Amino acid sequence: MSETVNQPLPSDFPNDPRVPEELRNNVFITTLDKLYNWGRKRSMWPMLFGLACCAIEMIATAASRHDLARFGWELMRASPRQADLMIVAGTVTKKMVPQIVRLYNQMPEPRYVIAMGACATAGGPFKEGYNVVSGIDKFIPVDVYITGCPPRPEALLHSFLKLQEKIEKQSLRTVPWYRPGEDDVIPVPMLGPDLVDMRRAEEIRQKAAAQAQQPVPTQEG
Partner 1 sequence: MAEETPRPETQAASAQPSAAKPAPAAKPAAAAPKAGGHGAAKAAPLATLTPDMQQLQQHFGESVIAPAPYVGVLLQDKSRLPEVATYLRDELKYDSVTNLTAVDYIKDGYFEVVYHFQRSTGGEPLTLKVRVPRPQGNDLSEPVPSITPIYAGADFQEREVYDMYGIPFSGHPDLRRILLWEGFYGWPLRKDWHEAYYEGDTKPFDSRWPGGHHQLAEERVPWADNVNYPPGFDPLNFHADPDAGLYDSMAEGVPGLKVVTKNGYGETTTTVLGNGQALAEEEELRTDQIIVNMGPQHPSTHGVLRMVVKLDGETVTDLKLVLGYLHRNHEKIGERNTWLHNIPYTDRLDYIVGMANEWGYVLTVEKMMGIKPTERAEYLRVLMAELTRIQSHFWAIGFLLNDLGAFYTPALYFITERDLILDFFESVTGSRLMCNYFRFGGVSRDLTEAQLAQVKELAFERIPRKIDELEELLTDNEIVKARTIGVGYLPADRSINYSLTGPCLRAAGVPYDIRRVDPYGIYDRFDFEIPVLYGADVYDRYRIRVLEMRESLKIVQQCLQQMEQTKWGDIQAGKKAYNHRVPAGQAYARVETPKGELGFYLVSDGGQNPYRYHIRSSSFINLTSLKEMVVGHKVADAVVILGSLDIVLGEVDR
Residues that bind partner 1 (CB under 8 A): 48-53, 55-57, 59-60, 63-65, 78, 90-91, 93, 95-96, 99, 103, 123, 125-134, 138, 149-150, 152, 190-198, 201-202, 204-205, 207-209, 211-212, 216-221
Minimum gap (Å) between residue 118 Cβ and partner 1: 11
Cβ-based nearer residue to partner 1, 1 or 201: 201
Measured N-to-C along each axis, helices 153-168 and 53-62 cross at an angle, to the nearest 10 degrees, of 80
Cβ-based nearer residue to partner 1, 3 or 203: 203
Minimum gap (Å) between residue 167 Cβ and partner 1: 25
Minimum gap (Å) between residue 11 Cβ and partner 1: 52
Please state the three-class secondary structure of the chain as a single string.
CHHHHCCCCCCCHHHCCCCCHHHCCCCCCCCHHHHHHHHHHCCCCEECCCCCHHHHHHHHHHCCCCCHHHHCCCCCECCHHHCCEEEEECCCECCCHHHHHHHHHHCCCCCEEEEEHHHHHHCHHHCCCCCECCCHHHCCCCCEEECCCCCCHHHHHHHHHHHHHHHHCCCCCCCHHHCCCCCCCCCCCEECCCEECHHHHHHHHHHHHHHHHCCCCCCCC
Cβ-based nearer residue to partner 1, 40 or 127: 127
Cβ-based nearer residue to partner 1, 181 or 221: 221
Minimum gap (Å) between residue 31 Cβ and partner 1: 38
Minimum gap (Å) between residue 165 Cβ and partner 1: 26
Cβ-based nearer residue to partner 1, 72 or 148: 148
